[in-house]
Amino acid sequence: MPTTVMIRQVTILYKLFLIKLSDLELLERMQPDYKLCPSCGAMGCCEPHDKYGRDMITIHKGMRKEYRILIPRVMCNSCNTTHALIADVLIPHSSYSLRFILHVLRAYFNRNCTISILCERFRISVSTFYDWRNLFKEHANLWLSALQRIYQVSTQVIDAFENIDKLPSVFFKRYGFSFLQSRQTTHYNRSP
């Protein structure tokens, strides 16, 4: 029986509040990358295999939107594993998009309203909100501590900041789980 691994798909991601494309439009423009198998490292051995449906809750024009989307899967002919191609706009094992969670957190940090009003407006539970807030603080601290280790400013560091649209992919490569993905649902067991 084949093993399943998720691949974080590098996309032409967005700077959260500057881009004009919705998460749905970004997903439609995503070009799946079948080149490298994350399990065995074989090049050019992954082929389209299947698709599965999942729900995506996102934000569009300040309002919560819900969509049913298809996630493409590939199979590696070298090691016989299957992989889901997850776009950076999605958080593995979550129905909420990265944009939605960051939009809710931005409203919270701007102190636009109380937590109960915020949760009612976006139709989330208070416990979900606190989970997101705590996870955001934990992951932001991981990222900031990595940045604090940089002692000299170089052009590479500046280039890294200019490519901040790749934050979810870079974060995943560094820590083995996705930005704002709960470690309880992480199947990668890598230590940061």
pLDDT tens across 128-142, in order? 999 999 988 888 877
Spans of all domains in the chain: 4-185
Is residue 164 predicted with pLDDT exceeding 70? no
Cα-Cα end-to-end distance for the chain? 30
Q: Higher pLDDT residue, 65 or 20?
A: 65
In whole angstroms, give the CA distance from residue 138 to residue 117: 24
pLDDT at 15 over 70: no
Q: How far apart are CA 151 and CA 142, in angstroms?
A: 17
The pair of three-digit structure tokens given for residue 187, joined into one six-digit string: 């199947």
Higher pLDDT, 126 or 156: 126
Q: What is the pTM of this model?
A: 0.67
What's residue 49's pLDDT?
87
Instruction: Tell me how far apart the alpha carbons of residues 108 and 13 are, in angstroms, rounded to a whole number.
Output: 23
The pLDDT assigned to 4 comes to: 47
Mean pLDDT, rounded, for 68-72: 88
CA nearest to 172, candidates 3, 2, 5, 4: 5
Per-residue b or e along 101-129, where b marks 16 or more CB atoms closer than 10 Å to that residue's CB: bbbbbebbeeeeeeeeebbeebebeeeeb
Q: Distance between CA 121 and CA 138 in Å, rounded?
A: 25
Q: Do residues 19 and 46 lie in contact, with contact meaning Cβ atoms separated by under 8 Å? A: no
- For residue 99, CA distances in Å to 57, 61, 90, 152, 168 come to 9, 12, 8, 32, 11
Between 11 and 53, the more confident residue is 53
Mean pLDDT of 8-37: 58
